[in-house]
Amino acid sequence: MTDFRQDVIVEQATFGAGCFWRAEAAFRSLPGVLDSRVGFARSVRGESELIEVVQVDFDSKVISYSRLIEHFWTLHDPTSFDRQGADVGVKYRSALFFGTAQQAQLALVAKQRLDASGQLGKPVATVIVPLGEFQLADEDQQRYLEKHGASSCSI
């Protein structure tokens, strides 16, 4: 999605990084991130299970999609496939959901670069898939950590 408003170019990115509350709070702290929402995503390939995600609206004139991906790598363990800390299962999968061919290319390059760096000691397990379905989580889940004055998902 691209929306043009008075010198602002709004784009959208969707990330699965384990607990969506923590990911949402972390992305909202970045300059250029205009809004976010948490929910559940499924790729267009029709996987049956939904993944916890944060969907981010950002001004691409202020922050790039590539910079968001760099931040994404720091929010979780991208070498872990279906587990983030104590959270286990498909819904906690490390995933980059792309909406455009350009996002797909940038995500693939970022993953290859991180793998080639060897800094993680293990291969990156993050899946890079086209966004199919997005289901918005209930309102009480939105900005959950902010509403509850917490800094982590273990509250």
Rounded to whole angstroms, the Cα distance separating 135 from 31 reads: 26
SS3 18: coil
Q: How far apart are CA 145 and CA 142, in angstroms?
A: 9
Q: Which of 16, 53, 51 is nearest to 38 (CA)?
A: 53
Alpha-carbon distance values, 118 to 23, 59, 79, 141 (Å): 24, 31, 11, 36
Distance CA 62, CA 60 (A): 5
Q: Where in the sequence numbering do the catalytic residues fall?
A: 19
Exposed / middle / buried, residue 27 (Cβ in 10 Å: 0-12, 13-18, 19+) = buried
